[in-house]
Amino acid sequence: MKYSINALKWYTKENILIGVICMWKEKIEIAGPYNFDLALSRLAMDPLNQLNQKERLIRVPIYEDQPEVAIVQAIGTTDQPAFLISGHKEKTKEKVLKRIFSIFQWNISLKDIHAHFLKTSLKDIFIVHHGTPIILDFTPYTTLVKSIIHQQVHMKFAISLTATFVQTFGFQVDGVPFYPSPATIAELKPEQLRPLKFSQRKAEYLIDLGKRIASKELNLDELAKLSDEEIKKELVKIRGVGPWTAQSFLLSGLGRPNLFPMADIGIQKAIKSLFTLEQKPTQTEMLEYSREWEPYLSYATLYLWRSIEP
């Protein structure tokens, strides 16, 4: 269903009424289950995400040559999901819709995945979080940036540090934060990041990443065409990028379905709780537990995270 120019209104997290003129609006229906409300509850953990859980919508930054904002609002149910997508530029509509489909993984059927896990040790978790989809970062580039910032720090601090970095060096479109471009990061000096509580080494890693992408030494579009193992092999060549960051890129940046980051502290904590272990699981134990979850290890990862999150 298509509409001409429309005024769409919503409340931000600060409860300020905003009106935006949208050049196009598209209704999308997908196969269930798909619980957009549970997805929004997880996205709400990041203060950079501009969403309203009551209105069931999120304002999505679209990283193109000319950045813009799209609005995604749920109007259906978990079993019969439907959405209204709105945008400002008619000429970029198809690109925006393609990106939205990718970010929210609307081409992935959760029905078979859910049925698979009902026959595993994760059955109860999948019942509680029924229909929770993997939501990708808004662009694979920001996955790498965020993963480097999040390395070896507590999650609460990592989220705060990332938000401060974006607010300091990024920009906004219609009030929606965008990460600074690779070229912007490439021009930074470690001394500019240190007051934000970046370590010297982490600042250097981030700037080096910006330089590699800005110079096209690292082409993320071409990288995305490779296999999981090939991508890992290429990424770990980059200073400051190890196996954990490479797996984060594959899972949260590209949506690869069979990733299980065994070094992730949250996964270790969730498995320790699920199987009532006295200490954190060994890699051998995690490998053994995870065998029955294949070929959907990425969904096992998401639901294990959800089991220990608020």
For the segment 165-203, what is each residue's pLDDT rounded down to a tens digit? 999 999 999 999 999 999 999 999 999 999 999 999 999
Q: Among the listed ranges 4-18, 156-170, 238-252, which one has the minimum average pLDDT value?
A: 4-18
Supply the pLDDT for residue 190. 97
- Check if 264 is active-site: yes
State yes or no: pLDDT of 3 exceeds 70.
Answer: no
pLDDT band at 155 (very low <50, low <70, confident <90, very high): confident
Mean pLDDT calculated for residue range 44-60: 97
176 beta partners = 173
Supply the pLDDT for residue 16. 31
pLDDT band at 310 (very low <50, low <70, confident <90, very high): confident
Active site residue: 174, 208, 228, 264, which one? 264
pLDDT band at 120 (very low <50, low <70, confident <90, very high): very high
State yes or no: pLDDT of 101 exceeds 60.
Answer: yes
Supply the pLDDT for residue 20. 53
Supply the pLDDT for residue 207. 98
* Mean pLDDT (the chain, rounded): 91
Cα Rg for the chain, rounded, in angstroms? 20
pLDDT band at 7 (very low <50, low <70, confident <90, very high): very low
Supply the pLDDT for residue 76. 97
For the segment 193-228, what is each residue's pLDDT rounded down to a tens digit? 999 999 999 999 999 999 999 999 999 999 999 999
